[in-house]
């Protein structure tokens, strides 16, 4: 059944038990992202230690895909240099926009490969990218604040 | 609801809609419950559009050749059919690209009144004036009024909604007052299904000299509607929600008002006389139809009206009433399902929105889709209403003449399946 391919156990696990959820202090910048078609939203904070992601904390409400994807993202980027975090983001975006034609690299995306099935549902790609867009925006804001 | 109409023969109706015969998602029978977003089109409507294009296509209202004459007759003939369909005069129907453009037309024309002649006096709006809407509006009948208020300095006010999803009219006398210039509201909520007391609101507006603008997108396709009997000044509806094409909407305006309403879009076709420095404008409805209009779409919408008339709007309303009642009953019986809107069928149309405890609407919709059941999920362009009803997003099933009780059962079964899949039951 197609549905199981989309809602992998990993996704449902992250949805029911999200990692890193909750807004924490201190933080360098915050981003609020919404999906205007469905009203899903996420507020996300980044805390940086030089060029390293010290913490990502978030709160929001939305579908299983948006919430699980944000949870997986925190696992992927926290503790990593910004350059590596953005490389993972690019890989995830490529996977999501690949209409199911992109073979994900588990070494790079870890639990993120579970979202490969979501890429076959164009209407849900935005859900999967919501948290990532908030992360990208928050980092840009923190850099803007420093400049 | 009392009706003596004989039930409509759904099997015969369905045979006219080729798309309903297809399958989706690995061979599942399509259960199309999203007519509130857009309806499907019968062969008769598709054939009419094609026949027009194959035999009479030309730019209307210009050209002296035979095709131009025939095209103009077909276009204006459609206007007459549509006018008759909603109980108004031929010259009171303006074609727009959709209902949203119709609302914007009125809102922008009112904004333009401040720089128009004294004949447009009654449309002028500015600081101290009030625009009244409701909390249950589709964004299309809310945002244009927010913007008109922002451009003119007028104040936007609104009726609240009760927990059950009815308009809260307890402060009617206070909200609709001597300062009120416009009262804009929906006939039937696209989310709640609630049918509003149009006459009560129209009478209150008229008593203070305010104009009424009715969003009839969810009412005109689904039952008999007579704008004269309702007593509204303006009304809008869309073609694609009533078996017609997209790209065409309808604005009704009382003749006396259209005659003095300033134009919105200007250019060809809408003029009387043009000089290099200034122009005068054609009488309505031409004044509001700048440019070459959507002709084959108007013809096809006329064919949709013929189709609906042949079946009978009272029979369609009665049919949807039965489906809505069954859906409300079936969904209410499922533990963990909350209907967002009136729980009964009194003054209620066939849009049934709900939330399922523990499952986001998007996720519920995905399970339904995997079973072939096509519904809308999200806020359905009524975000403030969702906030009011304490729902981030809802699942909406909406019915039309071609839906069956079996499809209602498929919906209810699919919701139970979603609960099973996400382990909330």
**Full DSSP string of B310-363:** HH-HHHHHHHHHHHHHHHHHHHHTSTTEEESS-SSSTTB-SEEEEEETTB-HHH
Mean pLDDT for B77-91 is 98
Give the closest of B363, B377, B392 to A64, CB-based: B363
Give the closest of B370, B379, B421 to A38, CB-based: B379
List, for residues A91-146, the tens digit of each pLDDT value.
999 999 998 889 999 999 999 999 999 998 888 999 999 999 999 999 999 988 77
Alpha carbons within 13 A on the beta-carbon side of B241: 25
Is A144's Cβ below 8 Å from some Cβ in B? no
Is B420's Cβ below 8 Å from some Cβ in A? no
Residues in chain A: 147
CB spacing of A40 vs B366 below 8 angstroms: no
Token readout for A66 is 């948006």
List, for residues B251-307, the tens digit of each pLDDT value.
999 999 999 999 999 999 999 999 999 999 999 999 999 999 999 999 999 999 999
List, for residues A48-87, the tens digit of each pLDDT value.
999 999 999 999 999 999 999 999 999 999 999 999 999 9
Token readout for B185 is 């509201």
State the ipTM, two decimals. Answer: 0.89
Alpha-carbon distances of A8 from A27, A48, A70, B255, rounded to whole Å? 32, 32, 15, 60
Per-window interface: A 82-111 vs B, CB < 8 A: none
CB spacing of B377 vs A38 below 8 angstroms: yes
pLDDT at A1: 52
pLDDT at A3: 87
Mean pLDDT for B188-210 is 98
Token readout for B412 is 């209810």
Which helix (DSSP H) or strand (DSSP E) does residue B32 occupy?
strand B31-32
Is A9's Cβ below 8 Å from some Cβ in B? no
What are the chain A neighbours of B421 within 8 Å (beta carbons)? Answer: 3, 7
Give the closest of B26, B362, B367 to A38, CB-based: B362
**Full DSSP string of B93-156:** EEEESSHHHHHHHHHHHHHHGGGS-GGGGGG---TT-EEEEETT--GGGTHHHHHHHHHHT-EE
Mean pLDDT estimate for chain B: 96
CB spacing of B367 vs A39 below 8 angstroms: no
Is A68's Cβ below 8 Å from some Cβ in B? no
CB spacing of B378 vs A63 below 8 angstroms: no
| Confidence band of A17 (pLDDT split at 50, 70, 90) | very high
- B245: how many CB neighbours lie within 10 A of its CB? 21
Alpha carbons within 13 A on the beta-carbon side of B83: 18
pLDDT at B1: 45
Q: What does the alpha-carbon distance between residue A146 and residue A46 come to, in Å, rounded to a whole number? A: 14
Phi then psi dihedrals of residue A15, to 5 deg: -65, -45
CB spacing of A1 vs B370 below 8 angstroms: yes
CB spacing of B25 vs A39 below 8 angstroms: no
Q: Is B217 a catalytic residue?
A: no
List, for residues B239-252, the tens digit of each pLDDT value.
999 999 999 999 99
Q: What percent of chain A has pLDDT over 70?
A: 99
Q: What does the alpha-carbon distance between residue B228 and residue B398 come to, in Å, rounded to a whole number? A: 27
Q: Is the peptide bond before B209 cis (omega within 30 degrees of 0)?
A: no
Token readout for B341 is 């809107």
* Residue B209: DSSP 8-state: T
Mean pLDDT for B387-403 is 97
Q: Testing the interface with A: which of B364, B384, B393 to mutate, by most A Cβ within 10 A?
A: B393
* Lookup result for tokens 């156990």: A9
Is B366's Cβ below 8 Å from some Cβ in A? yes
Q: What does the alpha-carbon distance between residue B379 and residue B344 come to, in Å, rounded to a whole number? A: 22
CB spacing of A124 vs B386 below 8 angstroms: no
Is A61's Cβ below 8 Å from some Cβ in B? yes
Token readout for B219 is 């009412």
| Confidence band of B4 (pLDDT split at 50, 70, 90) | low
Alpha-carbon distances of B30 from B25, B242, B364, B407, rounded to whole Å? 9, 20, 17, 9
What are the chain B neighbours of A12 within 8 Å (beta carbons)? Answer: 422
CB spacing of A63 vs B422 below 8 angstroms: no
Phi then psi dihedrals of residue B251, to 5 deg: -115, 125
Q: How far is A140 from chain B (nearest CA, A)?
A: 28
Is B378's Cβ below 8 Å from some Cβ in A? yes
Q: How far is B141 from chain A (nearest CA, A)?
A: 17
CB spacing of A3 vs B360 below 8 angstroms: no
Q: List all residues 6 or more positions away from B215 whose beta carbon is below 8 Å from its beta carbon.
A: B99, B103, B137, B138, B140, B141, B184, B185, B186, B187, B235, B236
pLDDT at B148 over 50: yes
| Confidence band of A5 (pLDDT split at 50, 70, 90) | confident
Q: Are strands B130-134 and B155-159 parallel, antiparallel or unpaired?
A: parallel
Residue pair B393/B357 in contact by the 8 Å Cβ criterion:
no
Give the closest of A3, A37, A65 to B378, CB-based: A37
What are the chain A neighbours of B363 within 8 Å (beta carbons)? Answer: 7, 63-65
Q: How far is A93 from chain B (nearest CA, A)?
A: 21
Residue in B142, B375, B381, B382 annotated catalytic: B381
Q: What does the alpha-carbon distance between residue A94 and residue A116 come to, in Å, rounded to a whole number? A: 10
Please, what's the b/e burial string for B122-157 (b: 16 or more CB within 10 A of its CB; e: otherwise)? ebbbeeebbbbbbbbbbbbbbbbbeebbeebebebb
Give the closest of A3, A12, A124 to B367, CB-based: A3
List, for residues B31-49, the tens digit of each pLDDT value.
999 999 999 999 999 999 9
Is B370's Cβ below 8 Å from some Cβ in A? yes
pLDDT at B422 over 70: yes
| Confidence band of A38 (pLDDT split at 50, 70, 90) | confident
Nearest to B253 by CA among B279, B283, B274: B283
pLDDT at B389 over 80: yes
pLDDT at B5: 66
What pTM was estimated for this model as a whole?
0.94
* Residue A60: DSSP 8-state: E
pLDDT at B63 over 90: no
Nearest to A46 by CA among A86, A10, A11, A15: A86
CB spacing of B393 vs A40 below 8 angstroms: yes
**Nearest-10 crossing angle of helices B361-370, A64-77:** 110
């Amino acid at each position: 059944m197609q549905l199981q391919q989309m809602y992998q156990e990993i996704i449902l696990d992250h949805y029911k038990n999200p990692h890193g959820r909750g807004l924490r202090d201190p933080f360098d910048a915050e981003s609020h992202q919404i999906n205007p078609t469905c009203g899903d939203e996420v507020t996300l904070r980044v805390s940086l230690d030089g060029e390293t992601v010290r913490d990502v904390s978030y709160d929001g409400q939305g579908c299983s895909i948006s919430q699980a994807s944000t949870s997986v993202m925190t696992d992927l980027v926290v503790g990593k240099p910004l350059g590596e975090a953005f490389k993972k983001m690019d890989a995830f975006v490529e996977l999501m926009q690949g209409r199911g034609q992109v073979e994900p690299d588990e070494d790079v995306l870890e639990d993120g490969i579970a979202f490969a099935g979501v890429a076959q549902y164009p209407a849900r790609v935005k859900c999967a990218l919501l948290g990532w867009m908030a992360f990208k925006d928050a980092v840009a804001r923190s850099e803007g604040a420093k400049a | 609801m009392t009706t003596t109409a004989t039930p409509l023969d759904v099997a015969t109706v369905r045979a006219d809609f080729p798309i309903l015969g297809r399958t989706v998602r690995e061979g599942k029978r399509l259960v199309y419950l999203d007519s509130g977003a857009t309806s499907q089109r019968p062969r008769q409507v598709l054939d009419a559009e094609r026949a027009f294009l194959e035999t009479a296509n030309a730019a209307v209202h210009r050209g002296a050749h035979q095709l131009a004459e025939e095209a103009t007759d077909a276009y204006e003939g459609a206007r007459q059919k549509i006018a008759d369909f909603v109980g108004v005069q031929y010259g009171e129907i303006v074609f727009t690209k959709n209902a949203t453009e119709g609302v914007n037309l009125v809102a922008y024309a009112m904004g333009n009144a401040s720089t128009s002649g004294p004949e447009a006096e009654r449309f002028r709006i500015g600081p101290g004036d009030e625009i009244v809407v409701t909390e249950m509006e589709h964004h299309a009948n809310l945002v244009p009024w927010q913007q008109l208020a922002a451009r003119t300095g007028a104040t936007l006010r609104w009726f609240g909604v009760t927990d059950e999803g009815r308009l809260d009219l307890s402060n009617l006398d206070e909200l609709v007052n001597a300062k009120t210039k416009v009262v804009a509201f929906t006939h039937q909520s696209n989310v709640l299904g609630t049918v509003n007391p149009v006459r009560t609101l129209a009478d209150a507006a008229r008593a203070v000299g305010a104009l009424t603008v009715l969003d009839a997108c969810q009412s005109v396709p689904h039952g008999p509607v007579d704008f004269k009997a309702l007593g509204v000044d303006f009304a809008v509806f869309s073609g694609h929600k009533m078996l017609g094409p997209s790209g065409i909407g309808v604005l009704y305006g009382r003749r006396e008002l259209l005659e003095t309403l300033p134009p919105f879009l200007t250019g060809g076709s809408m003029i009387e006389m043009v000089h290099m420095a200034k122009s005068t404008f054609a009488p309505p409805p031409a004044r509001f139809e700048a440019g070459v209009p959507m002709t084959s779409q108007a013809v096809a919408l006329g064919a949709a009206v013929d189709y609906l008339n042949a079946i009978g709007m009272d029979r369609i309303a009665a049919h949807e009433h039965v489906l809505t009642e069954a859906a409300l009953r079936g969904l209410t019986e499922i533990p963990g399902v909350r209907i967002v809107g009136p729980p009964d069928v009194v003054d209620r149309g066939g849009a049934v929105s709900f939330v399922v405890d523990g499952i986001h609407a998007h996720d519920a919709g995905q399970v339904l889709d995997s079973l072939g059941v096509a519904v809308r999920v999200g806020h359905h362009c009524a975000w403030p209403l969702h906030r009011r009803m304490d729902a981030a997003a809802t699942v909406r099933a909406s019915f039309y003449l071609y839906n069956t009780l079996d499809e209602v059962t498929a919906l209810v079964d699919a919701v139970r399946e979603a609960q099973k899949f996400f382990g909330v039951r």
